[in-house]
Amino acid sequence: MPPTLYEPNPRLVSSKLLARRELVPIPHLNVFAAAWIQFMVHDWLSHGPNDRADPHLFPIPEGDDWPDQTMEVLRTSRISPTSHRPR
């Protein structure tokens, strides 16, 4: 049987691959640059409104520092193909 959307657990993958083990200083970059980049990424990309009725619920692996037993990620709302036609 092929793996499902939640296999492997997305939280486990992100904590193993993306967690910072140590701070690597970058002398020419500051906190303002990081904040600006995050701001811009949120401005560049949008999947539209989120659907609060049916979120993805990921179980949190044992020993994880996430405050709840599950992580909730809202799904992107389905949009009719005719509602966003290019002009």
Residue 72: which residues within 8 A CB-CB, separation 6 or more? 55, 56, 57
> Is residue 42 annotated as part of the catalytic site, yes or no?
yes
Given the residues 28, 42, 47, 84, select the one marked as catalytic.
Answer: 42
| Residue 15 to residues 60, 70, 72, 74, 76, Cα–Cα distance (Å) | 11, 15, 16, 20, 23
Q: Which residues are catalytic?
A: 42
